[in-house]
Structure 1
Amino acid sequence: MPAPEVLLAFAAVCFAAAIAPGPDILLISSRAVARGPLGGALAAFGVVTGLSVHILLAATGLTALFASSMAAFEVIRWAGVGYLLYLAWGLLRDSGDGPASDQPSAMRQYSSLFVQGLLTNLLNPKAVLFFLALLPQFVDPARGLVPIQIAILGLELMVIALAVFLSVAYLVGILGRGLARSPWLMRLQNRVFGGALAGTAIWLALAERR
């Protein structure tokens, strides 16, 4: 079991990581504006589910094994770049004029939002490096089984991240209700978030592995 002061310090790191601008926050915000707080929340749950996968990999030691493979890391990196560009293109081409006649059912829309959040997080190699480089600094083998400590820290990360993401989804979703009344404003926000996601994809493509 990690010491209380370790849990407190890790909580501060988790909050900073969750609130920092990145693919997760951008996706949740864009979906909250377009689909309201529920849309943002569904994307948030997808992102946190992706975090749970990273935590499982870290607890079993597979994160280090994966990160040691340059080929595997590059596959995930370029898959992430491609997926972010795909999401950005979807926003940039959205006219913001309202639902089309062939709009998918509500259930399909909801599941799509969840999957978008899940894939955005899973295909982010920076998340892999976060668990590889940062998480071990808060683990002390003298305080018990390392996988158990990683699981506890991972649960703390998930709770804090979910709280932050849901707060963002709610606040941005409320703002989105006003934007939804104006097709021009919806087009503008689509361009802003689409451009931000495209910029993030380019940054990820050009960033060196740390």
Structure 2
Amino acid sequence: MSLLTLFLLAFVGAITPGPDILLVMRNTLLFGFMQGVKILSGIASGWIVYLAVLYFGFGYLFNGKIAQIALSTLGAIYLAYIAFMLFKKSATHIDIPDSNLQNNNSQVSQNSNTLKDKPDTYLKALIINLSNPKAILFFSVIVAPFIESSPLISLSVLFCGLSSAFFSVILLATFFRNLICDRVFHIIDKICSILFACFSILLLYHAYDIFMS
């Protein structure tokens, strides 16, 4: 496989809907560019773990039944928790800098809502990535067979492809963030809650399917 093909494989694989890309998009829309980058750094740390495992030849560890069932179950529980927290959260007011909107009333509203709605953390992003079977399968099954020659270069290109996809999403979300209102952000939270719940169910089904096979 050429390096360009590997890059494109990583790019397309990264932007495929999943918990990682959803978490980055939501945080960027709600809290801005730097928060999106912060969440991406947690996810990228998970990529580094997977890439290191592949580089040192331990990819088979993720292919075991017990490992996949355990990771899928833990991931499902964690995603279900996130879905519940998002669903019960009250409406959010977003602090988007605008010289025409800076007055005492809006400042009080923004400060009170900042206390209610905190951005996600680096650790949460890392846990979601490491417990995501999509990421495990992507690295251990799809990518692993194609990095036999020049593994260090191949893994570097793979990382660049993944990062480029996520940065593209962050830039787009940053642009659209300034075009939507608080009510839309509240709707986005509810949609994210439903999607995280769906991902949780899919993970549980994945664990059950492996257990029964």
Q: TM-score, normalised by structure 2?
A: 0.79
**In 2: Cα distance, 1:36 partner to 1:102 partner:** 13
**Do residues 205 (structure 1) and 171 (structure 2) align?**
no
1:90 alignment partner in structure 2 = 85
How many pairs align? 191
**In 1: Cα distance, 2:48 partner to 2:4 partner:** 20
SS state at 2:29 partner: helix
Conserved in 1, the CA contact under 8 Å of 2:27 and 2:39?
yes
Conserved in 2, the CA contact under 8 Å of 1:15 and 1:164?
yes
Deviation string 1:89-127 (CA, Å, 9 cap, x unpaired) is 2221221234547839xxxx67x5322221111111222
**In 2: Cα distance, 1:54 partner to 1:175 partner:** 32
Shift of 1:173: 2.6
SS state at 1:95 partner: coil
**Do residues 23 (structure 1) and 47 (structure 2) align?**
no
Conserved in 1, the CA contact under 8 Å of 2:62 and 2:140?
no
1:153 alignment partner in structure 2 = 154
2:98 alignment partner in structure 1 = none
Moved more, 167-176 or 42-51: 167-176
2:46 alignment partner in structure 1 = 50
Alignment of 1:93-104 (within 5 A): 93-98=88-93, 100=112, 103=115
Conserved in 2, the CA contact under 8 Å of 1:37 and 1:174?
no
**In 2: Cα distance, 1:151 partner to 1:190 partner:** 39
**In 1: Cα distance, 2:167 partner to 2:7 partner:** 17
Conserved in 1, the CA contact under 8 Å of 2:21 and 2:166?
yes
Conserved in 2, the CA contact under 8 Å of 1:64 and 1:132?
yes
Alignment of 1:40-189 (within 5 A): 40-68=36-64, 70-98=65-93, 100=112, 103=115, 112-140=120-148, 143=149, 149-179=150-180, 181-182=181-182, 184-189=183-188
Q: 1:87 to 1:100 in 2, by over 3 A?
A: farther
Conserved in 1, the CA contact under 8 Å of 2:54 and 2:144?
no
2:4 alignment partner in structure 1 = 8
Moved more, 151-160 or 25-34: 151-160
The unaligned stretches of length 5 or more in structure 2 are 94-110
Conserved in 1, the CA contact under 8 Å of 2:80 and 2:197?
yes
**In 2: Cα distance, 1:73 partner to 1:89 partner:** 24
Conserved in 1, the CA contact under 8 Å of 2:72 and 2:131?
yes
2:193 alignment partner in structure 1 = 194
The unaligned stretches of length 5 or more in structure 1 are 144-148
Query: Alignment identity in percent?
Result: 25
Deviation string 1:150-203 (CA, Å, 9 cap, x unpaired) is 332222122121122122112113322343x42x22221100111111111111
Please, what is the CA RMSD of the aligned residues? Answer: 2.3
**In 2: Cα distance, 1:25 partner to 1:66 partner:** 22
Moved more, 129-138 or 10-19: 129-138
SS state at 1:82 partner: helix
Rg larger for: 2
1:146 alignment partner in structure 2 = none
Q: 1:28 to 1:58 in 2, by over 3 A?
A: same
